[in-house]
């Protein structure tokens, strides 16, 4: 674990997070948007794991919680996507505007 | 890409050390899996078919699991494969195929203006993070512990025990009895 410089892993984490943000902006398919959000969560997990040798193993415990939240978020979000699809026969993100207010 | 990562060189002064062979193999493996992760993530964003996107995302998850293992977080690496690649992605693929989105693809990538905006947002964010990381003040307080402490803990308690002790002792149960 001390073979890899911290800057490399943090750089990879920043790169993955930026790709996730760009994907959320550029895609319209709600399922792919969810996948981009998962990618961003993974980037944050990588930063936690990379810092855990220096800041204590609590970072890895936090990754555990993040994974649990990601799993439940995917389950709830995909259920919402299915119900919107049954309403409007499409998963385009513009159909989700009724969730705004 | 190498030039991009050299922006972050200021965080640690490790690169000036002499490199032993084992360390070099680990670093080469890290670059390999980092390239796989970044390339799969880019392919995930740019593929039009949602099933192809999901497959590329699974590739990213596997590469990240390998990187976690290289970083010494063995338990997190296994959990990454089991939970992310095994459970969450199955849920995604299940929904894609239940709604029959795999063969009748809508044009779901936005127009040029949105693409420029997405690239701009990504680059601005990347620049901000690079600036924070390269400032040399990234490490929060109290993180000057030598990196070998965790390795010693792992050798004593095992890869699962070193996570389970704070998880069930400090965070979940809060029942640390003083013996």
Domain residue limits, chain A: 6-99
Q: Which residue has the higher pLDDT, B34 or A88?
A: B34
Domain A6-99 CATH class label? mainly alpha
Note whether B169 and B86 are same-domain residues: no
Quote the DSSP letter at residue A1. Answer: -
Q: What does residue A27 show for φ and ψ, rounded to 5 degrees?
A: -95, 155
Q: Which of B89, B108, B127 is the last residue of a domain?
A: B108
Give a yes or no: residue B166 inside a domain.
Answer: yes
- Pick the last residue of a domain from B86, B108, B130: B108
DSSP letter string, B7-45: GGGGS-GGGGSPPPHHHHHHHHHHHHHHHHHHHHHHHHH
More confident position, B141 or A34: A34
Co-location of B75 and B28 in the same domain: yes
In the predicted structure, residue A37 carries a pLDDT above the cut 90:
yes
Of B47, B63, B82, B77, which is closest to residue B159 (Cα–Cα)?
Answer: B77
**Closest approach of chain B CAs to the CA of A18, in angstroms?**
5
> Do B97 and B36 fall into the same domain?
yes
pLDDT at residue B21 in the model: 80
Is B17 in the same domain as B83?
A: yes
Rg of chain B (C-alpha set): 21
Distance, in Å, from the CA atom of B163 to the CA atom of B75, rounded to the nearest integer, reads: 8
Token pair for B131: 């600036």
Name which of B13, B49, B57, B88 to mutate to probe chain A: the one with the most chain A Cβ atoms within 10 A of its Cβ.
Answer: B88
3-state SS of B93-118 is HHHHHHCCCCCCCCCCECCHHHHHHH
Say yes or no: B101 and B167 in one domain: no
Decide if B102 is inside a domain. yes
Q: Which of these three, B108, B129, B160, is where a domain ends?
A: B108
- Cβ separation of B167 and A64 shorter than 8 Å? yes
* Range scoring the smallest mean pLDDT among A19-23, A77-81, B121-125, B161-165: B161-165
pLDDT at A51: 86
**Residues B10 and B87 occupy one common structural domain:** yes
Whether residue A20 contacts residue A37, with contact meaning beta carbons closer than 8 Å, is answered with yes
B42/A16 Cα distance (integer angstroms): 9
Low-confidence ranges of chain B (pLDDT < 70): 1-19, 104, 133-147, 173-179
Domain count for chain B: 2
Give SS3 for B137. Answer: coil
- Asked if the structure places residue B9 within a domain, the reply is yes
Look at residue B6 in the predicted model and tell me its pLDDT: 44
Residues above pLDDT 90, as percent of chain A: 55
CB < 8 Å to B114, chain A: 25-26
Give the range of the structural domain holding residue B171, as residue numbers without chain letter.
146-179
Smallest CA-to-CA distance from B70 within B37, B15, B27 is with: B27
Query: Same structural domain for residues B74 and B160?
Result: no
pLDDT given for residue B63 in this prediction: 95
CB contact under 8 A, B84 and A34: no
Query: Are the Cβ atoms of B84 and A67 closer than 8 angstroms?
Result: yes
Residues B100 and B38 in one domain: yes
Q: How far apart are CA B92 and CA A79, in angstroms?
A: 11
CB contact under 8 A, A55 and B140: yes
Whether residues B9 and B72 fall in one domain: yes
Kindly state whether residues B24 and B93 are assigned to the same domain.
Answer: yes
Helix (H/G/I), strand (E/B), else coil: B173? coil
Can you tell me the distance from the alpha carbon of B48 to that of B179, in angstroms, rounded to the nearest whole number?
A: 59
Record the tokens describing residue A17, joined without a space. 């997070």
Pair (B88, B167) in one structural domain: no
Q: How far apart are CA B140 and CA B147, in angstroms?
A: 15
Residue B18, Cβ neighbours under 10 Å: how many? Answer: 5
ipTM above 0.95, yes or no: no
Does residue B152 lie in a domain region?
A: yes
Whether the full predicted model's pTM is greater than 0.95, yes or no, is no
Structure tokens at B7: 């922006």
Q: Which of A45, A22, A39 is nearest to B57 (CA)?
A: A39
């Amino acid at each position: 674990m001390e073979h890899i410089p911290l800057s490399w892993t943090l750089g990879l984490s920043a790169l993955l997070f930026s790709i996730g943000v760009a994907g959320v902006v550029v895609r319209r398919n709600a399922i792919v948007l969810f996948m981009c959000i998962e990618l961003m969560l993974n980037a944050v997990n990588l930063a936690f794991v990379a810092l855990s040798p220096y800041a204590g193993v609590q970072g890895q415990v936090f990754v555990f919680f993040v994974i649990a939240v990601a799993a439940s978020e995917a389950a709830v979000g995909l259920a919402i996507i299915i119900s919107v699809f049954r309403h409007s026969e499409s998963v385009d993100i513009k159909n989700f505007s009724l969730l705004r207010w | 890409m190498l030039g991009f990562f050299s922006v972050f060189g200021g965080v640690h002064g490790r690169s000036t050390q002499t490199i032993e062979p084992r360390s070099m193999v680990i670093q080469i493996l890290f670059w390999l899996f980092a390239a796989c992760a970044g390339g799969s993530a880019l392919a995930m964003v740019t593929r039009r078919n949602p099933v192809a996107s999901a497959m590329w995302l699974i590739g990213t998850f596997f590469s990240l699991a390998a990187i976690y293992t290289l970083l010494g977080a063995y338990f997190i690496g296994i959990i990454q494969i089991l939970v992310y690649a095994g459970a969450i992605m199955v849920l995604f693929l299940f929904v894609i195929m239940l709604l029959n989105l795999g063969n009748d693809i809508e044009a779901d990538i936005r127009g040029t203006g949105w693409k420029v905006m997405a690239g701009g947002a990504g680059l601005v964010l990347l620049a901000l993070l690079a600036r924070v990381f390269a400032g040399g003040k990234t490490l929060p307080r109290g993180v000057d512990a030598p990196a070998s402490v965790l390795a010693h803990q792992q050798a004593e308690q095992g890869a699962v025990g070193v996570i389970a002790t704070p998880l069930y002792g400090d965070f979940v149960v809060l029942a640390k009895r003083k013996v």
